[in-house]
């Protein structure tokens, strides 16, 4: 799936990400949210940079994850106000917030969590990147507050899962919005 995603040109990825943004911003859960946690795009993921900039322009609070490597694999929600000034390359080569510039938020302050992944299914399960950071983070959020973003070809019939995998309430693609079975 990563190879298929990597095969998209930058232009195609931008166009498809724009369609995903329109679908996401039309959701009532998104409209109601005051504070949204976005992933910062890495490699060929659906691009969140324009979504983040748009949210900042319309006055939503935007937080992004900061990974705390170690035994427990913790993630922090850190508020940003500018993509260029507030981020630096961090854990695993992913851009993360500069803690000296940005404010760490409590998880309870986050109204909606936007989640990346390699592949998703219609029951809301996903295959991530194997470290479990999002699964641990998502445990404290209600199902409807967990939304995955993907290109439509990343949505398959069923993904492998374990007991520690946490489902999402919704998957937003460039072609559709899938509310999960649990939702």
Return the C-alpha torsion angle 22, 28, 31, 37, nearest 10.
-80
Range of the domain at 21: 2-179
**Nearest residue to 124 (alpha-carbon basis) of 174, 178, 160:** 178
| Whether the model pTM is above 0.85 | yes
The 3-state DSSP class for residue 145 equals: helix
**Nearest residue to 101 (alpha-carbon basis) of 117, 130, 81:** 81
pLDDT tens sequence across 83-111: 999 999 987 789 999 999 999 999 999 99
Domain count, the chain: 1
Q: What is the CATH number of the domain that holds 7?
A: 3.40.50.10420
Q: How far apart are CA 109 and CA 10, in angstroms?
A: 34
pLDDT tens sequence across 27-67: 999 999 999 999 999 999 999 999 999 999 999 999 999 98
């Amino acid at each position: 799936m990563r190879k298929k995603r990597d095969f998209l040109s930058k232009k195609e990825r931008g166009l498809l990400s724009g369609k995903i943004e329109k679908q996401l911003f039309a959701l009532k859960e998104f409209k109601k949210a005051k504070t949204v946690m976005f992933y910062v795009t890495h490699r060929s993921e659906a691009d969140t940079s324009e979504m983040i900039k748009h949210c900042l322009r319309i006055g939503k609070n935007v937080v992004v994850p900061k990974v705390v490597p170690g035994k427990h694999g913790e993630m922090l929600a850190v508020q940003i106000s500018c993509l260029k000034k507030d981020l630096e390359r961090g854990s695993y080569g992913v851009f993360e917030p500069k803690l000296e510039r940005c404010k760490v938020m409590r998880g309870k302050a986050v109204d909606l969590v936007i989640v990346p992944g390699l592949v998703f299914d219609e029951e809301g399960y996903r295959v991530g990147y194997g470290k479990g950071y999002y699964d641990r983070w998502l445990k404290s959020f209600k199902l409807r507050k967990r939304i995955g973003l993907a290109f439509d070809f990343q949505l398959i019939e069923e993904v492998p899962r374990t007991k520690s995998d946490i489902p999402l309430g919704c998957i937003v693609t460039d072609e559709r919005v899938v509310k999960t079975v649990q939702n």
